[in-house]
Copies of this chain bind each other. A is one copy, B any other.
Amino acid sequence: MSGHAPSKVEAILNAGRMLSDGIPPSDFFEAAQMDDVSKWFDFWADKGRAYEELGDSAIAAGAAVSGGEWLWHASLSWHYGQFMWFHDVARREEGQTRKVELYKRAAPHFSPSAERIEIPIDDTVIPGYLRLPAGAGPHPCVLLIGGLESTKEESYLFEAMCLRRGLATFSFDGPGQGEMFFSVKLQKDFERYGSAIIDTLDSRPEVDSNRIGVLGRSLGGYYALRSAAADARLKSCVSWGTFLDMSDFDTMPEHTADGFVYVAGYDDKAEGRAFLQDALDLRDIIDQLNCPTYVLQGVHDPIFPQHQTDLVIEAIGAKPSVEIDVEPDGDHCCHNMGQIVRPRMVDFLVATL
């Protein structure tokens, strides 16, 4: 598809998100000084290669934890290199592929380690990582869902926050996301993928199958609500950034709208828009949402506007088990106040699972 290239570095540089997810400060400040956004991809690719070298050397020298963490830095560098590169498919796919491969190599070395699990569905698999907290199980577990261009590899620090609080994590890419994009584009029935994961986790003795929750971020916040409404085995739900439908598609930042069309697998924007407005709408399922649910939204979110928050509140806000947190100072997903909202979401899961 022929999307629009980002016009300025500032348009894609997201301090709160990138730093909270683990981009090192010095890399962030260096990127911020870039004079031309067209250099963005190569800048991060170079960072990725440098961390990869550090990681491989460390592993070879027996420093496995550092090796894993540097490979994670490498993966995250490639991730942010490609995350807004919808207009340049070849490079975006190169970035995705490198990110996935580096994280796969990093995962066994994490402390605690991340176990890659591929869950069969239809003629493909759902790729994800299971991590377990310290202590004897079975543990409560949260499914972590990414968004339009956030993927399972971005959840490393968020997982650590869950693990410190005794919560196991399963981060995965669903249809249209990360590496699964290559086999399945965005689907109307995301919840079917969530249920397939629960089927698999049910058989894991380390996980308490009566204490599984779900948390999704950005577009994943929508998926989390769908998943929890569809599958009563999900006992708690956090929607970290949310919307009810795609009626505000035309007022989204051009870039984000292009991204939606891309992950839906469309070349033509009008066709993509029509598909998305049909596929992404909670009204068919939201009535069935009955588990404790926490909705977090920032007033200054330029992607999911206040209008969408109002629609979600109208649809689910009256239920007694729903907590709505609309932060007056928050931006998209309240990334600008991660140190406050991120632990709060995890605590909600811990308290309700």
From residue A33, how far is it (CB to closest CB) to chain B in Å?
13
Residues of chain B within 8 A (CB-CB) of A25 are: 15-16, 19-20, 338
CB within 8 Å of B: which of A16-58? 16, 19-20, 24-27, 29, 54, 58
User: Which of these binds chain B: A64-72, A176-184, A215-223?
Assistant: A64-72
Chain A 312-353 per-residue mask, 1 if CB under 8 angstroms from chain B, else 0: 000000000000000000000000111110011011001100
From residue A63, how far is it (CB to closest CB) to chain B in Å?
4
- A15 and B16 alpha carbons, distance in the complex (Å): 14
- A338 and B19 alpha carbons, distance in the complex (Å): 14
Quick check: B24 and A339 within 8 Å, CB to CB? Answer: yes
Which of the residues B16, B61, B338, B343 comes within 8 Å of A66, measured between beta carbons? B343
Which of the residues B58, B61, B134, B343 comes within 8 Å of A134, measured between beta carbons? B134
Quick check: A339 and B165 within 8 Å, CB to CB? Answer: no
A73 beta carbon closer than 8 Å to chain B: yes
Which of the residues B66, B346, B350 comes within 8 Å of A344, measured between beta carbons? B66
A62 beta carbon closer than 8 Å to chain B: yes
Which of the residues B54, B111, B343, B346 comes within 8 Å of A340, measured between beta carbons? B54
Quick check: B340 and A165 within 8 Å, CB to CB? Answer: no
A4 beta carbon closer than 8 Å to chain B: no
Quick check: A29 and B54 within 8 Å, CB to CB? Answer: no
From residue A43, how far is it (CB to closest CB) to chain B in Å?
16
Which size bracket describes the interface of A in this complex?
20 to 34
A204 beta carbon closer than 8 Å to chain B: no
A347-B66 contact given A16-B25, A26-B337, CB 8 Å threshold:
yes
From residue A47, how far is it (CB to closest CB) to chain B in Å?
10
Residues of chain B within 8 A (CB-CB) of A66 are: 165, 343-344, 346-347
| Chain B residue nearest in CB terms to A135 | B134
Residues of chain B within 8 A (CB-CB) of A283 are: none
A164 beta carbon closer than 8 Å to chain B: yes
- A70 and B347 alpha carbons, distance in the complex (Å): 13
Quick check: B26 and A350 within 8 Å, CB to CB? Answer: no
A65-B165 contact given A20-B25, A25-B20, CB 8 Å threshold:
yes
- A58 and B350 alpha carbons, distance in the complex (Å): 12
Quick check: A339 and B73 within 8 Å, CB to CB? Answer: yes
| Chain B residue nearest in CB terms to A337 | B26
Quick check: A63 and B340 within 8 Å, CB to CB? Answer: no
- A61 and B350 alpha carbons, distance in the complex (Å): 12
| Chain B residue nearest in CB terms to A133 | B111
- A20 and B16 alpha carbons, distance in the complex (Å): 15
Residues of chain B within 8 A (CB-CB) of A164 are: 65, 111
From residue A51, how far is it (CB to closest CB) to chain B in Å?
8
| Chain B residue nearest in CB terms to A17 | B25
- A343 and B57 alpha carbons, distance in the complex (Å): 13
Residues of chain B within 8 A (CB-CB) of A350 are: 63
| Chain B residue nearest in CB terms to A23 | B339
Quick check: A69 and B343 within 8 Å, CB to CB? Answer: yes
Cβ contacts A to B, 5 pairs, < 8 Å: A16-B25, A26-B337, A63-B347, A66-B346, A134-B134
